[in-house]
Structure 1
Amino acid sequence: MAPNTKRVFYVNNVSAQIYLDILAARADLQVDKLVNDSPADEVEPVLSQAHAYQIGSSRQELAIALQGYAPLLARCPNLLVLSTNGAGFDTVSLADATSAGVMVVNQAGGNKEGVAEHVMAMMLALSKRIVVSDHAMRSGSAYRRQDFMGDDVQGRTIGIIGLGHVGARVAELCRGLFQMRVLAYDPYQTAEQIAAKGAEKVPTLEAMLRIADYISVNCPHTAETRGMMGAAQFAVMPAHGYFITTARGGIHDEHALAQALTARQIAGAGLDVWEDEPPPSDHPLLGFDNVVVSPHTAGITRQSRHNIAKIAAEQMLDILDGKRPPRLLNPEVWDVYCDRFARILGYRPRG
């Protein structure tokens, strides 16, 4: 190994092979692979020398000892960056990373098309009652076509929580395909920024919930957003309204949603994300005919995985070459990070 080799490691897998192909083209990089149950005599040498960790984004798929929290960071004295495999960063503590002088980046936007299309698929499946009618036809029981009367999507109102990469694409599709009215709740964007993405800014979440025919959750899972959709929020939605989430489990209260569906406070839900993934087969929300479900697969398309892997590899190379990345999640770490980078790699980042 060359004396100035930069060390990158990952656990279990990366998003797509192109990530490894791009890094393999660099003679000054070494990539190490670990798995959840790698023995300590394999893990510790990798952690002690690693400069970068390409970390999985699923809490349930990555061993807790290898998630990006203080205990792991203490074992990685040379670590400079935690780079998540997707847009989510559930396996990383931004506070712990910042305290350790470690930069955190994600691959936001890489899967926006796949996730946005999944939102549209769920919205159409719910409105057209496709799953209910499919099950009825396969059951062998008698049914009437009139029992599956649905609704057109054209001209209705969607409320989007979080107008980032995915939310903005959902807004574009809804407005362009179905001439829908698009409302957005995003306290971190101005009315002008939201208007530029084709949506109307609403002052409060409650104001949007009261009037939207569909609610789509597209914000990150943070301490601020955890539990933001609970009993009080479902109670103010119209009875004909649908709740759709492709963001992260924990943003909505699953028990409260089940209660709202039982009481017919809302018309149905589309759920791609869960508090525990996969959810148990006896999960209450799996018992409703008016709930369309998937196992966190909105962003799992060939194209999305390729895009995320390519973005991740290119961003990783920029970081290790001393450039400031465009998807920095903890910008407050920059000065301390630069000092550590210079001490570890011998030159100071720029930007």
Structure 2
Amino acid sequence: MLQDLDVIRVVRLDVWTASCFDEILARNPCIRLDVLARSGDHARTWELLASADIYHVSAARDEVPQELQVTADLIARCPNLKCVSTSGAGYDTVDVEACSRAGIVVVNQAGGNARSVAEHAMALILALARRLPESRHLLQHGQNFTREDLMGHEIAGRTLGLVGLGHIGTYVARLANAFGMEVLAHDPYLDDDTIAARQACAVSLDELTARSDIVSLHCPRTSETLNLFDAHRFQQMKQGAWFVSTARGGIHNEGDLYDALLAGHLGGAGLDVWAVEPPPPDHPLLTLHNVVPSYHTAGVTHEGRSNIAAIAAEQILQICRGDAPPRMINPDIYLASRLAPRG
């Protein structure tokens, strides 16, 4: 039980973090916060990790060296570790199964940047509808073109299919309804009534891909969703449909998406997430003028980052008081973990 300790040791990586994270933790005099360097003094890094009770780690794979991601190997070197906290809704840098086997609770900050990500998803959709990348290209390099050559579409009346209807997907559904869109959703963890209450119509994944003018991903990257959208799935989509992802790289196959766009089967794509982040400058998808790219910045707003940092720090304070954290990824192990109150 953490509340029985004289000092609770929290460590985080030296990635950019809103200052409120450190400030909130400083309110508890029993918490000692150390910042780990991702490179440099490895001996000090492992000394701090070995004594850590809570490890706050970035959720972005490409921000965390492999040896500092939460794997079975790292867990074996951290005998005091009781909780892993990620810096976002994702947990790509954490082997949740290995943590569960070791009795370590994993928490995320789901919902903290949902509004930011939802707005970004809609921005990608609007950029595709109004052909903004093509407009920029022609304005810079084109000759003898007219405004009608860049004629776009309104999104009112279009069918938007949401794969995943958690915090972010729910915000997207609200925005899409405000634009006058029909919203379909597939989420195997929600019943039809819950999906309806979140302003969407529940359908199977096959029906969603077949009916949607736009497919937008809002599901986590797991063994079940890895490569979920491949050549077969893209072929199921409507001719000329748009594909959007603000979820995680790897849920869609980038090579298959490129082929579907190049062949003209899909009309465009809005991509905030990539297999490697940032993608290399010569990435094939970046050569297409009907692709709207961004660098995993959907949740990177001043408001989103501050909210995530505050939620993460407050959740750590709850854990230190002996309260059950509200955003557990592996809640089934909580009662058997060293976080749960005894007596």
Contact between 2:59 and 2:90, CA under 8 Å: does it hold in 1? yes
For the structure 1 residues 3 and 195, does the alpha-carbon distance in structure 2 shift closer, same or farther, using more than 3 Å as the test? closer
Question: Counterpart of 1:61?
Answer: 63
Contact between 1:14 and 1:309, CA under 8 Å: does it hold in 2? no
In the alignment, is residue 241 of structure 1 matched against residue 241 of structure 2?
A: yes
Counterpart CA distance in 1 for 2:68 and 2:246 is 25
Question: Counterpart of 2:268?
Answer: 268
**Aligned AA (1:69):** T
Counterpart CA distance in 1 for 2:132 and 2:232 is 29
Q: Which is worse superposed, 47-56 or 295-304?
A: 47-56
| Local SS of the residue matching 1:60 | helix
List per-residue Cα deviations over 1:94-140 (Å, max 9, x = no partner). Answer: 10100111000000001011100001111011001122112211225
Q: State the Cα distance separating 1:147 from its structure 2 match.
A: 1.2
The root-mean-square deviation of aligned C-alpha atoms, in Å, is: 1.4
Question: Counterpart of 2:168?
Answer: 166
List per-residue Cα deviations over 1:37-58 (Å, max 9, x = no partner). Answer: 1423212321121100110111
Q: Name which structure has the greater RCO, CA cutoff 8 Å, separation 6+.
A: 2
Question: Counterpart of 2:222?
Answer: 222
| Local SS of the residue matching 1:188 | coil
Counterpart CA distance in 1 for 2:77 and 2:243 is 42
Counterpart CA distance in 2 for 1:60 and 1:105 is 20
TM-score normalised to the size of structure 2? 0.96
Counterpart CA distance in 1 for 2:144 and 2:55 is 56
Contact between 1:229 and 1:251, CA under 8 Å: does it hold in 2? yes
| Local SS of the residue matching 2:189 | coil
**Aligned AA (1:16):** A
For the structure 1 residues 5 and 173, does the alpha-carbon distance in structure 2 shift closer, same or farther, using more than 3 Å as the test? same
Counterpart CA distance in 2 for 1:3 and 1:155 is 58
Q: Percent identity?
A: 44
Counterpart CA distance in 2 for 1:83 and 1:3 is 19
Counterpart CA distance in 2 for 1:159 and 1:300 is 24
Q: Which is worse superposed, 12-21 or 24-33?
A: 12-21
Q: State the Cα distance separating 1:68 from its structure 2 match.
A: 0.7
Counterpart CA distance in 2 for 1:156 and 1:179 is 8
Counterpart CA distance in 2 for 1:297 and 1:88 is 14
| Local SS of the residue matching 2:63 | coil
Give the paired residue count. Answer: 340
Counterpart CA distance in 2 for 1:258 and 1:81 is 40
In the alignment, is residue 118 of structure 1 matched against residue 124 of structure 2?
A: no
Question: Counterpart of 1:42?
Answer: 44
Q: Which is worse superposed, 69-78 or 158-167?
A: 69-78
TM-score normalised to the size of structure 1? 0.94
In the alignment, is residue 291 of structure 1 matched against residue 279 of structure 2?
A: no
Q: Structure 1: any 5+ residue segments left out of the alignment? A: 343-347
| Local SS of the residue matching 1:268 | strand
In the alignment, is residue 329 of structure 1 matched against residue 329 of structure 2?
A: yes
Contact between 1:324 and 1:349, CA under 8 Å: does it hold in 2? no
**Aligned AA (1:174):** A
For the structure 1 residues 349 and 159, does the alpha-carbon distance in structure 2 shift closer, same or farther, using more than 3 Å as the test? farther
Q: State the Cα distance separating 1:63 from its structure 2 match.
A: 0.9
Q: State the Cα distance separating 1:11 from its structure 2 match.
A: 1.0
In the alignment, is residue 189 of structure 1 matched against residue 190 of structure 2?
A: yes
Contact between 1:86 and 1:108, CA under 8 Å: does it hold in 2? yes
Contact between 2:37 and 2:45, CA under 8 Å: does it hold in 1? no
Counterpart pick for 2:8 among 6, 9, 25: 6
Counterpart CA distance in 2 for 1:122 and 1:301 is 16
Q: Which is worse superposed, 144-153 or 209-218?
A: 144-153
Q: State the Cα distance separating 1:26 from its structure 2 match.
A: 1.1
Counterpart CA distance in 1 for 2:270 and 2:342 is 44
**Aligned AA (1:260):** A
